[in-house]
Amino acid sequence: MNPMIKSRACALALVVVTACGLSACSDSGSNANAGHGDGHTAEAPAVEKGEHNGRLLHDKNFTLELAIFETGVPPEYRAWALVDGKPIAPAEFSLQVRLTRLGNKIDTINFAPQGDALRGDSVIYEPHSFIVTVEATHKGNQHRWEYESFEGRTRIEPAVAEALEIATEIAGPALLKETIAAYGKVVPHPNLERDVQARFDGVVTDVQVTLGQSVEAGQALFTVESNESLKSYTVKAPIKGVLTALHAKAGQQTGGKTLARILDNSRISVELAVFPEHLHKVKNGAPVTLTFADSEFETRIEQVALETNANQSVNARVTLDQPLPLGAMVKAQIQIDEYEVPLAVKRSGLQAFRDFTVVYAQIGDEYEVRMLELGREAGDWVEVLGGLEPGTTYVTENSFVIKADIEKSGASHDH
């Protein structure tokens, strides 16, 4: 096998095991499950369930059933105990559970009797991915278990992550710029187009330019002999630009007609169609990003028209110092608001996991889901209201690689 392929295959192997390494030790220190010394990972044993659908933990004649309960309440632990297979009252034993999460953060849960069970005093927040340490005491005897209960977690070596172009950023505040989409048409700038006429009616005696020619301001265009004075005078270009129309011909009477049209397209206007539902949000001076032929241009709204078009849209005009083709259609994003939020993530990092929208947090070589409560969205950013701590490093690019690796493991959500 190619060494690089072999390395990648090994690096992408999951460390997610729903329930492995289950061990029990009593106050005498006995270990119920000895580890394997041959270098191979033992297949995780099936989780034994009790009558409340909780995990059964055995130590000699003492059995603890530990379940995550979430019927009508946020997820919390409930526990029951049996001695010699017979239930005992919750007041007869004490219990503490420690959850060691990725990054060595420890949640300590204490218990108090409620009904026929011990009830944990803390909500078990998502993800339910941790090393569980259980300590119970009954009639002076201590019982201890430790097991892994991982979900949405994988390990990828740095070299492989780099090869897979997995990019990360640190979650923190962001400036969200809210925009609406619009479409528009390139039109001449109103101050950079001129119709040229003769000042005094007469006969065109000479034409010094051709259609499509570029001219400078003050350049001679044609000569006209006045009908009244019979004297000749020169008609000059009022602005620089391109002759987009030329109607003057030698021997032709001017007759008050337009003889030429000059357009300077070094600056153009774009009339963007804004529909009624967005009209109240679009203001003069609002930033606009125009897209034409895979190029982007930044500009601002100069004027919002007072009259509506036949399709009930209203034109919002912008100016661009670019010679775009007249009549071309362009796309636009008009900024209607901006606001800073204390915590946001990039939209490119979001993935679906169970019924949640998540990002993948990175701690060392390991990656794990973070279930998000999301707020406002704008551009590349999404506000985070809960589920992620500020300062967390999370995956922004190619997060689908992490998702695929976790799904390949088949790790389940153990309740």
From first to last of its 415 residues, what are the pLDDT tens digits of the chain? 444 333 333 333 333 322 333 333 333 333 333 333 333 333 456 889 999 999 999 999 999 999 999 888 899 999 999 999 999 999 999 999 999 999 999 999 999 999 999 999 999 999 999 999 999 999 999 999 999 999 999 999 999 999 999 999 999 999 999 999 999 999 999 889 999 999 999 999 999 999 999 999 999 999 999 999 999 999 999 999 999 999 999 999 999 999 999 999 888 999 999 999 999 999 999 999 999 998 999 999 999 998 999 999 999 999 999 888 889 999 999 999 999 999 999 999 999 999 999 999 999 999 999 999 999 999 899 999 999 999 999 999 999 999 999 988 765 555 4
In degrees and rounded to multiples of 5, residue 186 shows phi and psi of -75, 125
Rama region for 63: left / alpha / beta (φ>0; ψ in -120 to 50; rest): beta
d(CA 38, CA 5): 25
* Residues whose CB falls within 8 Å of the CB of residue 119, separated by 6 or more in sequence, listed in order: 76, 77, 78, 111, 112, 113
d(CA 293, CA 298): 15
Contacts of 328 (CB under 8 A, 6+ apart): 185, 186, 292
How many residues does this entry show for the chain? Answer: 415
CA distance 349 to 395: 6
What angle (nearest 5°) sits at the alpha carbon of residue 271, between those of residues 269 and 275? 160
- Residue 318 has what pLDDT? 96
Residue 410 has what pLDDT?
60
Where do the DSSP E strands lie in 189-294?
Answer: 193-196, 202-207, 214-215, 220-226, 232-236, 241-246, 260-263, 268-274, 287-292
269 CB-contact burial (10 Å; exposed 0-12 / middle 13-18 / buried 19+): buried
- Computed on alpha carbons and rounded to an integer, the radius of gyration of the chain in Å comes to 38
From residue 393, give the alpha-carbon distance in Å to each of 369, 378, 379, 390. Answer: 12, 21, 21, 9
pTM for the complete prediction? 0.69
* Lookup result for tokens 């003492």: 62
3-state secondary structure of 249: coil
23-31 own/partner pairs: CB under 8 Å, 24+ apart = 23/145, 23/146, 23/147, 24/57, 24/58, 24/59, 24/143, 24/144, 24/145, 25/59, 25/143, 25/144, 25/145, 26/59, 26/60, 26/141, 26/142, 26/143, 26/144, 27/141, 27/142, 27/143
Output the pLDDT for position 16: 31
Enter the DSSP assignment of 189: -
Cα separations in angstroms, 405 against 38, 324, 353, 397, 413: 26, 47, 13, 15, 16
Phi, psi of 3 (to 5 degrees): -60, -35
Give the other-Cβ count within 10 Å of 52's Cβ: 15
Residue 269 Cα distances to 184, 291, 357, angstroms: 10, 14, 42
